[in-house]
Amino acid sequence: MRAALRAALAAVVVPVAVAVAVAVAVSVAVSVAVPAIAAATTRASADAVSRAASLPRPADVVRGRFVASVSLDGGVLEVAPAPAGDHPLVSEERAAEEIWASPVLQGDQQGPLGYGLVTISFRARGVPHVTRLRAWVGFARSSEVAFCPEKSPSSTSNPQKLSGQALSSSGYAAVVVGAKNGSPAVTYKAPSMFCGSVQPAALALASEVVSVPWQALTGVANQSIQLRVTLPACASLEGIASGGSAKVTTITVTALVPDVHGRCDGTSDVTQTVALGPVGNPGAPPPLVTASTIIRHGPLGPSRLAVAPGS
């Protein structure tokens, strides 16, 4: 994120009576092993080898830099090693915060992240061309089949078999963040098989989900509370979550923020009414709160949406 949202905000404490409502859906990602194949000795022989040969692996990144060329979708997105003396102006830590907070990677299994030269031959309206861009790029992969409706017994499709044969990059996505301020930041999703259907490739401007500050304007009344939310420049409201106990309840407000800002007027404030009753779960009673219940902020800053390895 290019916005100035790095400072931590002290927790705002408001003693009120409050009930809890929590409903945050989290996609579950499944790690899929990448097959290894023998390296080709010529360009011609390399083209004849399965496209899975160049999919990103953890071993392709050493000390934060890509040391081997990798690609998605048969070379539509390519990452080549950067020259040894070329150093990024954006730190790896800052880039990683933005990359793993991308909504494109929500619930995906986190893969390698490193610095390299990125080229994307795919084109989309409103998205800048990326050609040998000095950038940080992070890869992740989703489960190929998740939350799909049941198929009829007569169904003969085999999504896993088809995706393995025809869509070697199925489930893969990449977030590219230019290594200097103001340079392009984009996301790319490879063509993928999902629930028996092919999802086409997608290229878009990169954004991240960020937890932002809020202030309580009222106490709790009718199982709700009114907040004033401060949004960063160019941001839009993403969502509100709350949870806790009769002693302490935490409210987190998230915004969707572009990694590279356009022309915006700076921060903006919006007013939101947050329902704290058991919305969507009427069988679960709210906590037995008292007048001493404390309402706090959730942690501020980028929200990690990709699933860390081993999770």
Spell out the domain ranges in the chain. Answer: 14-25+209-302, 52-207
Cβ–Cβ < 8 Å for 138, 192:
no
How far, rounded to the nearest angstrom, does the alpha carbon of residue 86 sit from its chain's CA centroid? 27
- pTM summary value: 0.74
- Picking from 180, 198, 3, 181, the residue whose alpha carbon sits closest to that of residue 189 is 198
Cβ–Cβ < 8 Å for 249, 293:
yes
3-state DSSP call for residue 165? helix
* Residue, of 92 and 199, whose pLDDT is higher: 92
Longest dimension (CA), the chain: 74
Cβ–Cβ < 8 Å for 49, 41:
no
Q: Is the pLDDT of residue 37 over 70?
A: no
- What residue type is 291 in one-letter code? A
Digit-coded pLDDT (tens) for 140-197: 998 654 566 665 444 334 444 443 445 889 999 999 999 987 789 999 999 988 777 8
Q: State residue 249's pLDDT score.
A: 84
The secondary element (H helix, E strand) that includes residue 46 is helix 43-48
* Residue, of 297 and 48, whose pLDDT is higher: 297
- Picking from 173, 102, 187, the residue whose alpha carbon sits closest to that of residue 140 is 173
Digit-coded pLDDT (tens) for 56-100: 999 999 999 999 999 999 999 999 999 999 999 999 999 999 999
Cβ–Cβ < 8 Å for 118, 185:
no
Among 91-105, 134-148, 284-298, name the one with the lowest average pLDDT.
Answer: 284-298
Q: State residue 38's pLDDT score.
A: 28
Q: State residue 242's pLDDT score.
A: 86
Work out the angle at residue 175's Cα, subtended by the Cα atoms of residues 174 and 180, and round it to the nearest 5 degrees.
Answer: 140
Alpha-carbon torsion, ordered 61, 64, 69, 72, to 10 deg: 90
